[in-house]
Amino acid sequence: MKYLVESDREGDKAVCCNLCFCSRKQRFLFCGISSLILLVVIGFVLTVLIKALTVEERFQRLVLEDSPRLLHPTKEEKQAWAEKLGEAIKIQTVSTSEDQLSFPELLELHSYLKSAFPKVFNSPFVEVTTVNNYSLLLEVTGSNPTGDVYMIAAHLDVVPAGDTSQWDHPPFLGEVIEQGGVNYVYGRGAIDDKHNLIGILEALNQILVDGGQPDLSFYIAFGHDEEVSGHQGAGHIAGVMEHRLQQNNQTLQFIIDEGMFVSTGLFPGMDDAVINIGVAEKGWATVELEAKGGQGHSSFPPKQTAIGVLGAAIANLEGNPHPAMFKRGPEYDSMEFLAPHANFQTKIALSNLWLFSPLVSAIFAGDPTKDALQRTTTAVTMVSGGIKENVLPPSAKATVNHRIHVSSNLEETLRHDVEAINDDRVTVRSKGYFPPSPVSDFADSSTPFQIIANSALQIYPGGHITPGVLIANTDCRHYLHLSDNIYRFSPVHLRANDTRRFHGANERISVDNFAEVVGFYYRLIKNSDIYLQQDSGRAKATNKLRQGESALVKVLQGNSEQQLDEEGSGSESSYFLTAEDTGDLELITESGDLELITESGDLELITESGDLVTPSTGEF
C-alpha cells in the first residue's frame, strides 16, 4: 500500500519514492553537494593511489665505477679471515666501567694485531701511534696524497658476557661453528665491534699485498674504551687527530664508525635488504628524581612516604612519554627513501606521508625499537630509598636515562619531565648530558654519503639505501669537531632475530658475511681514492636563491654548464660543476644570493646586485 500526501507530488507525479517532502530546489542543492563531496573523495583517493604508483627513488646513486674491482675470496681465504676474527674474540678486552678496563688484554690484542697483519703494521706507508697507552691510530700515506683525508674507526673493547648460562657456547669461544647449516664465528665482539676492527685491517692488508698502496691518505682509529664512554680512547685520539690534521694541512672529509647496519625483515612491508646509514645519533641525559620526607617511626606513617611520592612520580613519568617527533628528524626521510621499494599497502602510506605520517608514527609507537627513533625515550634504571625497615625514609631517589631525539635538547627534556610528574614534592635535576649530534649530509650531492652508499651497494647490490638515526652512542661523539660528515654504519647483514645479539647472548657473524665486511672496507678505500680525487677538482656552488628565482653558472672555456634551481625554493642546495679544461666561471643571479666556492676554499664570491661576475679560477 502506498501512502501519498499532497506535498509528495509535483504536478501529478510522486517524487523520491513517495517519501520525500523536499522541494525541487532543496533536492537539487542536496544532490549537488553530495556529488561534490563524492568527487572530492574520489579525487583524493586517486591522488593517493597515483602518488603511490608513481613514487620516485629519493636516493639518486652516482655510480663511481661501471665495473668496480671486488674481492673474490676463496672458501679457504674466507675461513682464514674468520679465524683471524676468532682469535681476536678470544682476547677478553672487556670494559665493565670507566674504572674497570682490561688493560693486559688490550696490550695482548695489540700484539696479536701486529702478528696477524704484518703487512699493515710493518708497511712504510703506515705510521702506527699508540694513544694513551691502549688506543691505536694508524696514518696511511697514499701514493697521490692531497689535503683531503678521511678516517675509519672501530673499537677494541667489548661489553661483559653477562649471564653465561644464556649462551649456547662459551662467550669468548672465538671458533667457527656450524649452526643451522651455516658457519659462524661465535663469541662476544663478533658484531660489536671486532668484526669491524679485523675487517678494516684485512681490507688494508689486501691492498698492501704485493706492494700495493692506496692513492689517498687516510686514518684508522681504534679506541679502547668505547663501551664505557670513550673518554680515554677516542677522547684522546681526537686531540691527536686535531694536531695531526693541522700539522699536515689536511681536511677530514668524512668519518665512518660503527652504527646502523644492513637488515632484512626489520622494516614492515620490505622484503629486500635495507642499507641503513646512520647520519646522526641521539643525545643522552641522566636525570635524578628526589622526593624528601620526614624521618620518623614507621608505626604512625603519613599518607605517602618519600618512597610513595617517588613511586607515583615514576608512574607519571612512564605513563606520559615524550611526544613523537616523526616529522622533525631523519626517520621521516628514512621512510621516504624506502617508499619505492615497499609492498603496495606500505607504499601507499610511505609515499603519502603528508597524509599518513600520524598513522606511521602510531605504528612506530607500537614497537619499542622503532618508537625510539621518533621520540626522546625514558628509562628508569636505578632506585634507592630507606635506611631501616621500621624507619620512615628521609628521602628516595631514582635515576632516569633519557636518549634524546636529534631535534630536541636538555631543556625540552627536563620541562617535559617536570610537567609529566606534576608534583612539587619531587625535585628533577640533570646529572649529566650530551647533546644529540648534528645530522650529516645525505643529499645526492654529498660526496661522503655517495662513497659509503656505493661501497655498500657494491657488496649488497639488492639492497636499498636509507639514512637513519643511531639510538645508541659511539666514539663519534668525540670526533664531532673534526668533520661535518660523520656516518655510523657497520656493514654486517642482520635478520630480525639478530638484533638481540648486540650486548646479548650468542653473538655471532657468519663466515660469508664477515667476508662481505672485509669487501665493504676494501671498496670504501678504493671508492674514496676515485671520488675524493675527482671531487677535489670540482667547483661547488651552494645555492641560496629566493622563492621563484634562478641562476646560471657556466665554465666559459670548458664543457660544463648548469642551471641552478629554475624555481628557487629558498632552501640551500649544492651543485657540482666539472670543466674538461681550464676556464673562467660566469655567475648570473637575480638577487646575488648565490655563493660559489671551490672545495679547497680558495675561491669565494658573493654577488650583491646580481650583475654579471666573471672571476678567473685558474685550474680547479
CA 31 to chain centre: 53
User: ∠ CA 133-137-523 to the nearest 5 degrees?
Assistant: 150
Catalytic residue among 148, 226, 281, 417: 226
d(CA 449, CA 453): 6
226 part of the active site: yes
d(CA 443, CA 193): 28
3-state secondary structure at position 167: coil
First to last CA, the chain: 94
d(CA 353, CA 340): 13
d(CA 417, CA 320): 9
Catalytic residue among 87, 105, 139, 157: 157
d(CA 415, CA 234): 32
Q: In angstroms, how far apart are the furthest CA atoms of the chain?
A: 108
Pairing verdict, β 283-292 and 426-434: antiparallel
3-state secondary structure at position 437: coil
d(CA 122, CA 114): 8
Is there a contact between 295 and 392 (Cβ–Cβ < 8 Å)?
yes
Nearest to 78 by CA among 523, 510, 506: 510
CA 480 to chain centre: 14
The catalytic residues are: 157, 226
